Chains A and B, each alone.
Chain A
């Protein structure tokens, strides 16, 4: 069974860069669409972006595109999120997720990690 686990600091200061990593077990990150999604407290889900293969295709939410970088390390079976110039509006639970063969969309989710942006 594919499992995903987010890791990274639970806090960030305004104007800093938020960095999170997703470790995948029971399956690979290679040749799959690996996504980041976030959910502000009490609000809905927002797709941040995905990466397909290390050094390969990325696609980002237009509203976040200027601040987001998603990368992949296939040797560690991980993918990562960097979100720059954060503000309080970036406070959210951040989820990593992955699709599967024949499944266009999102199939597997991490448990999520809360990142609070505060000085």
Chain B
């Protein structure tokens, strides 16, 4: 059973920078896992932010960036805004199947 691990919760101050990570139980996360990142606010469907580890969608705010950091996928928010408070999920590809991480609850305080 493949497990994708994210920080359960993080807190950041408005205007600050925070990095969320996404680890795989199978080892280092590479571009072959096609990391995706999603934002979900209460009562809403998830919204796609990043695909292919580093690529933004047309609607993704510039302050969001994706990367591979060490052996993990990472999502960095620079200049955090109050509206960035949300749950963030990563998604990894395993030879045809996809697995979501458990999510990171980001609090902006």
A-to-B contact residues, CB < 8 Å: 35, 37, 44-47, 50, 59-63, 95, 103-112
Q: Are B97 and A105 in contact (CB under 8 A)?
A: no
Q: Are A44 and B89 in contact (CB under 8 A)?
A: yes
Q: Are B100 and A46 in contact (CB under 8 A)?
A: yes
The distance in angstroms between the C-alpha atoms of A109 and B46, with both chains bound, is 7
Q: Are B97 and A62 in contact (CB under 8 A)?
A: yes
A contact residues around B101 at 8 Å (CB): 44
Partner pick for B45 among A35, A62, A107, A111, CB 8 A cutoff: A111
The distance in angstroms between the C-alpha atoms of A63 and B1, with both chains bound, is 9
Known A109-B45, A110-B45, A112-B45: A104·B102 in contact at CB below 8 Å: no
* A-B pairs under 8 A by CB, number: 63
Q: Are B45 and A47 in contact (CB under 8 A)?
A: no
Chain B interface mostly: strand
The distance in angstroms between the C-alpha atoms of A85 and B46, with both chains bound, is 27
The distance in angstroms between the C-alpha atoms of A37 and B34, with both chains bound, is 17
B-to-A contact residues, CB < 8 Å: 1, 34, 36, 38, 40, 45-48, 51-52, 55, 57, 89, 91, 93, 96-103
Q: Are B91 and A104 in contact (CB under 8 A)?
A: no
B contact residues around A63 at 8 Å (CB): 1
Q: Are A47 and B91 in contact (CB under 8 A)?
A: yes
Q: Min CB distance, B73 to chain A, in Å?
A: 12
Q: Chain B CB within 10 Å — which of A45, A59, A63, A107 has the most?
A: A45
Known A105-B34, A105-B36, A107-B51: A45·B46 in contact at CB below 8 Å: yes
Q: Are A103 and B100 in contact (CB under 8 A)?
A: no
Q: Are B93 and A105 in contact (CB under 8 A)?
A: yes
A contact residues around B98 at 8 Å (CB): 35, 47, 50, 105-106
24 A-B pairs with C-beta separation under 8 A: A35-B98, A37-B100, A44-B89, A44-B100, A44-B101, A44-B102, A45-B40, A45-B46, A47-B98, A62-B97, A103-B51, A103-B57, A104-B51, A104-B52, A105-B34, A105-B93, A105-B98, A106-B36, A106-B91, A108-B48, A109-B47, A109-B48, A111-B45, A112-B45
